[in-house]
Amino acid sequence: MADRTAAVVALATYIVGGSVAIGWRLWWQWRRTGSTGFKGVSGTIGSAEWFGGLGFILGVLVTVAAPVLQLAGIVDVRVLARQRADRAEHRGDRGLRTARGVDRVAGPPRGEPYLLKVHGGSYREYAGTVGRFVPRTGLIH
């Protein structure tokens, strides 16, 4: 399928599917209560209602962005997907697997023993003050 055709199909599917799903629910709510219940971005800034409305709008915009950017020729979504898959292959020390076998080693494990071996005292000093995951927890002495 051509890039432009794929983007049009994705956008049309999103618009039709979203309209049916959201439209059906709004209509059902309106029939039962006399109100759709949709208030958009409402409430005071920072309130749960405000974040809920903002999150909904941002979610719609982000979801529509990929096929629109593809149609505009700004982004090739297939390239982005391939790059994401490549990053997954580069994690750890497995190396990049290609048709020729292991083409390139992504690097040594990034664990603490490796860091201590390579950087010695400077890493031990750093890890003794910073901690891992949560500040001041898991300190090395």
pLDDT of residue 113: 80
Q: Which residues pair with 97 in a beta bridge?
A: 102
Could you tell me the CA-to-CA distances from 16 to 5, 72, 139 in Å, in that order? 16, 21, 54
pLDDT of residue 134: 61
104 contacts 96 by C-beta, under 8 angstroms: yes
pLDDT of residue 93: 41
pLDDT tens by residue, 6-32:
888 888 998 899 889 888 988 999 999
Residue 7: burial class (beta carbons within 10 Å; 0-12, 13-18, 19+):
buried
Q: Which residue, among 8, 3, 12, has the nearest Cα to 76 in the 3D structure? A: 3
Instruction: With a cut of 70, say whether residue 46 has pLDDT above it.
Output: yes
Instruction: With a cut of 80, say whether residue 103 has pLDDT above it.
Output: no
Q: Which residue, among 67, 74, 39, has the nearest Cα to 54 in the 3D structure? A: 39
pLDDT tens by residue, 72-101:
887 776 777 777 776 665 554 444 555 555
* Domain range summary for the chain, segments of one domain joined by +: 3-78, 90-141
